[in-house]
């Protein structure tokens, strides 16, 4: 028969060497010949062995009284030397403040509890209802408040005992109420900012335009600003939801963008000041009309398909645009182009006289004559043909012998006058 001699275990260190009187913490024992530990004693009280190797044992420390005890290990080789482990009484937790000190009856909000001796909290109660512990340090605990009603006492329990109580009030959140929207309409593409005014709007969890959620930008008790979602051309109800419920709805109108199909006239003086009519659709709520970016004045909405306005000054050919809450028209459809003309100028008449019976062909020389729409001799209309921007051919009407003024007219206005002499027959 063989008999094996086993070396006695030897301890070199404990980690940690202190712990709470409640026990329950993990302690690591380092040393040699520790395999096959039969028992690990904290004083006379056995610990729960978790792991066991030749050089290391981990245990759950048993409870003990505030004092120092000898920790030993027993194996088949005998009993180890003793190392000192000190039980430290946990301090009684003391609460100093709650933030916030109130919340909704439904709970679910985060509450921060400040104080001392809070480490290792085993429970936090709001009245008789336990809270969910999120974080736990010696001076601060964060929890999710449970549901409850009225004013209740908040307490924290640790190994050191149960703390003093601080009051927490469950306040019913009032139902939000809307009084106005600004603006009350917008484009079907959304993306515009809408301001909602009312009461009890704090903590808005959602703002909906019909069934479409908006993006919340700012939120106070009396005002919420949002980015409107897209929606089809229609009227929808806008509502705000908070923990207190959902507000009354207010109407918001999605508007199709305006279209501009034609102008009358398409020509005008560079100085502006003439009346222009715009034809199109979705024009009722027009707020601005621009000529190449320059705002028109004297805007009159005739109908959903017609506007009149006074053209601003400008030059060249420009695009006319119409703006409504539904957006701004584009040049993609119709004929929204407007051309500014320089005032017509006459520099010569060839010939400058003719028979009083009329019928003479007169060449009017000058500039800005392309769009000539009338030629008069002493106020009497003459037949004419615009040959180029510098030349018009006119047939003189009959007139009394003497001198009359010849004038050319374009959409930019009347030209200067030049004298024409009627010779007696």
Give pLDDT tens digits for 374-391: 999 999 999 999 999 999
Query: Could you tell me which of 359, 286, 360, 296 has the C-alpha nearest to residue 323?
Result: 286
Whether residues 20 and 79 fall in one domain: yes
- Domain end point (choices 88, 116, 147): 88
Here the tokens at position 21 are 């009187």
pLDDT of residue 217 exceeding 90, the answer is: yes
Give residue-wise pLDDT tens across range 148-167.
999 999 999 987 889 999 99
CA separation for the pair 208, 106 (Å, rounded) = 23
Rounded to the nearest angstrom, the gap between the alpha carbon of residue 101 and the centroid of all alpha carbons in its chain is 31
407: in domain: yes
Give residue-wise pLDDT tens across range 241-264.
987 889 999 999 999 999 999 999
CA separation for the pair 145, 130 (Å, rounded) = 8
314: in domain: yes
**Per-residue pLDDT at 315:** 94
2: in domain: no
Whether residues 309 and 272 fall in one domain: yes
**Per-residue pLDDT at 39:** 97
Give me the chain's average pLDDT, please: 94
Give residue-wise pLDDT tens across range 44-54.
999 999 999 99
Cα 361 to Cα 259, 262, 389, 422: the distances in Å are: 46, 37, 18, 13
63/333: higher pLDDT: 63
Asked if residue 404 lies in contact with residue 417, where contact means CB atoms within 8 angstroms, the answer is no
**Per-residue pLDDT at 160:** 82
Whether residues 68 and 105 fall in one domain: no
- Compute how many other C-beta atoms are within 10 angstroms of the C-beta atom of residue 14: 20
313: in domain: yes
Whether residues 351 and 418 fall in one domain: yes
Domain that holds residue 144: 94-170
4 pLDDT band, cuts 50/70/90, is low
User: What average pLDDT does range 307-328 have in this prediction?
Assistant: 95
CA separation for the pair 219, 31 (Å, rounded) = 63
Dihedral sign, CA of 293, 296, 299, 303?
negative
407 pLDDT band, cuts 50/70/90, is very high
- Domain end point (choices 277, 309, 341): 341
Whether residues 139 and 81 fall in one domain: no
pLDDT of residue 1 exceeding 70, the answer is: no
* pLDDT > 70: percent of the chain: 99
Whether residues 327 and 350 fall in one domain: no
**Per-residue pLDDT at 105:** 87
Whether residues 295 and 250 fall in one domain: no
Beta bridge partners of 283: none
Give residue-wise pLDDT tens across range 74-117.
999 999 999 999 998 888 899 999 998 988 888 888 999 999 99
User: What average pLDDT does range 396-402 have in this prediction?
Assistant: 95
Task: Give the β-pairing of 185-187 and 250-255.
Answer: parallel
114/425: higher pLDDT: 114
409: in domain: yes
* DSSP secondary structure code for residue 309 in this structure: E
Tokens 């709520």 -> residue = 285
Whether residues 274 and 291 fall in one domain: yes
- Domain end point (choices 254, 281, 314): 254
Whether residues 309 and 265 fall in one domain: yes
CA separation for the pair 240, 195 (Å, rounded) = 12
CA separation for the pair 262, 142 (Å, rounded) = 67
Sheet holding 94-99, edge to edge: 94-99, 110-116, 140-144, 132-136
213: in domain: yes
Number of domains in the chain: 5
1: in domain: no
Query: What is the domain-level CATH number for residue 351?
Result: 2.60.40.10
**Per-residue pLDDT at 5:** 64
Coil, helix or strand at residue 384: strand
Whether residues 186 and 113 fall in one domain: no
3: in domain: no
Whether residues 188 and 209 fall in one domain: yes
CA separation for the pair 41, 37 (Å, rounded) = 11
Here the tokens at position 5 are 């001699």
H or E stretch at 146: none
pLDDT of residue 3 exceeding 60, the answer is: no
User: What average pLDDT does range 32-42 have in this prediction?
Assistant: 96
Output the CA torsion 215→221→222→227 (10° steps): -10
Whether residues 37 and 78 fall in one domain: yes
């Amino acid at each position: 028969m063989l008999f094996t001699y086993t070396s006695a275990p030897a301890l070199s260190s404990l980690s940690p060497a202190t712990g709470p009187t409640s026990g329950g913490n993990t302690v690591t024992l380092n040393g040699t010949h520790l395999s096959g530990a039969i028992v690990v004693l904290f004083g006379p009280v056995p610990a729960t062995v978790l792991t066991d190797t030749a050089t290391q044992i981990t245990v759950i420390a048993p409870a003990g009284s505030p004092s120092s005890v000898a920790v030993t290990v027993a194996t088949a080789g005998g009993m180890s030397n003793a190392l000192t482990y000190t039980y430290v009484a946990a301090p009684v937790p003391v609460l100093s403040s709650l933030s916030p000190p109130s919340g909704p009856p439904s709970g679910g909000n985060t509450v921060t509890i400040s104080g001392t001796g809070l480490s290792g909290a085993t429970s936090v109660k709001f009245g008789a209802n336990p809270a969910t512990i999120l974080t736990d340090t010696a001076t601060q605990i964060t929890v999710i408040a449970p549901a409850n009603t009225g004013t209740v006492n908040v307490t924290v329990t640790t190994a050191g005992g149960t703390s003093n109580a601080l009051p927490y009030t469950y306040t019913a959140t009032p139902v939000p109420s809307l009084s106005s929207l600004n603006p009350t309409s917008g484009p079907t593409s959304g993306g515009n900012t809408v301001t909602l005014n009312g009461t009890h709007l704090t903590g808005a969890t959602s703002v909906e335009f019909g069934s479409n959620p908006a993006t919340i930008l700012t939120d106070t008790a009396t005002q919420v600003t949002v980015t409107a979602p897209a929606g089809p051309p229609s009227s929808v109800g806008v509502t705000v939801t908070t923990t207190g419920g959902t507000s009354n709805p207010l109407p918001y109108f999605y508007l199709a963008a305006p279209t501009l199909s034609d102008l009358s006239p398409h020509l005008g003086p560079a100085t502006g000041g003439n009346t222009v009519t715009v034809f199109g659709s979705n024009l009722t709520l027009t707020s601005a009309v621009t000529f190449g970016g320059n705002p028109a004045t004297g805007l009159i909405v005739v109908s959903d398909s017609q506007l009149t306005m006074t053209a601003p000054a400008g030059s060249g050919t420009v695009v006319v645009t119409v703006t409504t809450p539904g957006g701004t028209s584009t040049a993609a459809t119709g004929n929204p182009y407007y051309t500014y003309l320089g005032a017509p100028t006459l520099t010569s008449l060839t010939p400058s006289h003719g028979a009083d019976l009329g019928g003479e062909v007169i060449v009017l020389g000058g500039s800005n004559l392309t769009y000539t729409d009338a030629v008069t001799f002493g106020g009497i209309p003459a037949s004419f043909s615009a040959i180029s921007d510098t030349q018009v051919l006119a047939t003189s009407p009959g007139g009394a012998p003497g001198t009359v003024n010849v004038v050319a007219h374009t959409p930019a206005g009347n030209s200067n006058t030049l004298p024409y002499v009627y010779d007696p027959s």
